[in-house]
Amino acid sequence: MTFTTAEVAALATTQTAWMQDACKIGVYSSGVDSAGGPTSTYTLGSEIACGVNTDASRQARFQDSDGVYLLSDAVIRIPLGTTVAFADHVTVTKRMGVAVTNVEYYLMGVPSVGVSCITCNCRAVNT
């Protein structure tokens, strides 16, 4: 089955409208400290709509490129067209419209681009 351009746009619009959480993508950059050691920084972008699933009873099980099965702490859906890369972090800023703090995840693989959104399997930072 092939979707028309209008159908894909409608699917993406509906998907984004149903995302009841908000997050910021932390774009990764590397550097070197004064001792010559590696450093990592994450520059947060603007707040965007997202959908966060942290239901422990439905923890996502997926297979990585080496065939190893991994469990994620969260599956985060973000709108199509959002720039996100494997090394980036996702900081959740709102759950169901309520502000939250210290909720940061790293991606466990390359984000999956679907017909209506981008899906990221994530692990909590510092767990």
Output the domain CATH number for residue 70. 2.40.10.270
Strands (DSSP E) contained in the chain are 21-32, 38-44, 48-53, 61-63, 69-71, 74-78, 89-95, 98-99, 104-107, 112-113, 118-124
pLDDT tens across the length of the chain (127 residues) = 788 889 888 888 888 888 999 999 999 999 999 999 999 999 999 999 999 998 754 555 666 666 666 678 899 999 999 999 999 999 999 999 999 998 999 998 899 999 899 999 899 997 5
**What is the pTM for the complete model shown?**
0.81
Find the domain containing 91 and state its range: 5-124
Number of structural domains the chain divides into = 1
